[in-house]
Amino acid sequence: MLNYHHLLYFREIANHQSISKASQVLHVGQPALSTQLKQLEDFFGEALFTRENRRMTLTEAGKVALGYAEDIYQLGQELKEVMSGKPYSQKPHIRIGSLSSIPKHILIRAVNQAKALADCQFTVVEERNEELLNQLFAHKLDFFISNHNPASDKIIYSRKLAKLPIYLFGDASYKRLAKNFPKSLDGESLILPTKDSKLFHDVEHFLEKNNIHFQTAAVCQDTAVQKLLASEGIGLTPQPRLAVEELLKEKKLFAIGRMPGVYEEFYLITTKRRTHNPVLDQVTQTFCLD
């Protein structure tokens, strides 16, 4: 039979990556924790950790188990409050992931839509696409936003949020380039996303097609850094308009011209959840950028 305490002890060990640290938090002896962890692994028939230099790292099975253990812990806390006669006060918790190449305005819109539905708590993390998928599978994330579209299957669900045209933006010193765009770009400096992004290659193809030679001022993945460099006059940055709305209002950046045929697509990626969250359901089903 699955033991509730085994799961909670496993959760502490996983979160501290150490039996000794979990022992201090739980006030349970290390030998007892080791024994109960072994019993849990025997019950599942799977190793939940690999052990290297005193550090305990979750296996793939361990990551899945931790996602369930976190849910069970939260449900246990709720049950204790309900049974003690207290109204359960915890706010809905929504865990959002994103690539660093995703404009922060998109994350803000997702958060604002959820907050308009209910008073929520949020966890927002930025990781690489592979790590975001791992966290989604382990139920550490509710959904993430990406500009890569994984093939939808029985586990992964993706929904296109928008297909947005790309413009080049620069500070006031580049406003002169709006005339005779895009030929005016010849010889100018650009701030580009990294080569592993589709946008990098789309921008490069657009410039080559128009016989435009350019200088690479900087290559960086984080869109916030790209915009900051552009606002300091370092070069031109390709962005969807919604990513620079505030900087346009503040006149720190100006639209130099639209790049015909160059777009960036954004997707909301989620998976089947074990617990029902009506706020989360509405956000994942209705959130859009149009």
CATH of the domain at 8: 1.10.10.10
Among left, alpha and beta (phi > 0; psi -120 to 50; other), residue 187 is left
Which whole-number Å values give the CA distances from 230 to 50, 200, 217, in the listed order? 45, 16, 10
Please tell me whether residues 280 and 143 are part of one structural domain.
yes
Share of the chain above pLDDT 70, in %: 93
> Domain range holding 208?
163-263
How far apart CA 226 and CA 281 sit, in angstroms, is 33
Is residue 242 within 8 Å of residue 164, measured between CB atoms? Answer: yes
Q: Dump pLDDT digits (tens) for 106-122.
A: 888 888 888 888 888 88
Average confidence (pLDDT) over 135-158 = 81
Where residue 154 falls among pLDDT bands split at 50, 70, 90? low
How far apart CA 235 and CA 189 sit, in angstroms, is 5
How far apart CA 177 and CA 2 sit, in angstroms, is 67
Does residue 278 fall inside a structural domain? yes
Single out the residue of 268, 265, 244, 264 nearest to residue 110, CA to CA: 268
Report the pLDDT value the prediction gives residue 79, as an integer from 0 to 100: 72
Average confidence (pLDDT) over 34-44 = 90
Average confidence (pLDDT) over 242-256 = 94
Please tell me whether residues 179 and 232 are part of one structural domain.
yes
Report the pLDDT value the prediction gives residue 152, as an integer from 0 to 100: 64
Does residue 225 fall inside a structural domain? yes
Q: Dump pLDDT digits (tens) for 75-117.
A: 777 677 667 665 555 677 888 999 888 888 888 888 888 888 8
**Who wins on pLDDT, 179 or 277?**
179
Identity of the residue numbered 96: I
Q: Find residue 268's DSSP bridge partners.
A: 145, 159
Residues in CB range of 147: below 8 A, 6 or more apart: 99, 101, 102, 197, 198, 199, 264, 265, 266, 267
CA atoms within 13 A on the CB side of 38: 6
Over 90: is that where the pLDDT of 268 sits? yes
Average confidence (pLDDT) over 50-60 = 84
Report the pLDDT value the prediction gives residue 290, as an integer from 0 to 100: 66
Please tell me whether residues 189 and 139 are part of one structural domain.
no
- Sign of torsion over alpha carbons 111, 114, 116, 122: negative
Please tell me whether residues 172 and 153 are part of one structural domain.
no
Average confidence (pLDDT) over 223-248 = 95
Q: Dump pLDDT digits (tens) for 5-34.
A: 888 899 989 888 888 898 888 888 989 989
Q: Could you give phi then psi for residue 79, rounded to 5 degrees?
A: -60, -40
Boundary of a domain, candidates 25, 58, 83? 83
Please tell me whether residues 138 and 192 are part of one structural domain.
no
**Who wins on pLDDT, 190 or 57?**
190
Distance of CA 177 to the CA centre of its chain: 35
Please tell me whether residues 98 and 119 are part of one structural domain.
yes
Does residue 138 fall inside a structural domain? yes
For residue 275, the 8-state DSSP code is S
* Helix 4-16, helix 19-26: angle, nearest 10: 120
Neighbours of 63 (CB within 10 A): 18
Alpha carbon dihedral 159, 289, 275, 7, in 10-degree steps, equals: 90
Please tell me whether residues 154 and 181 are part of one structural domain.
no
Is residue 214 within 8 Å of residue 198, measured between CB atoms? Answer: no
Where residue 153 falls among pLDDT bands split at 50, 70, 90? low
How far apart CA 148 and CA 52 sit, in angstroms, is 34
Does residue 88 fall inside a structural domain? no
CATH of the domain at 138: 3.40.190.10
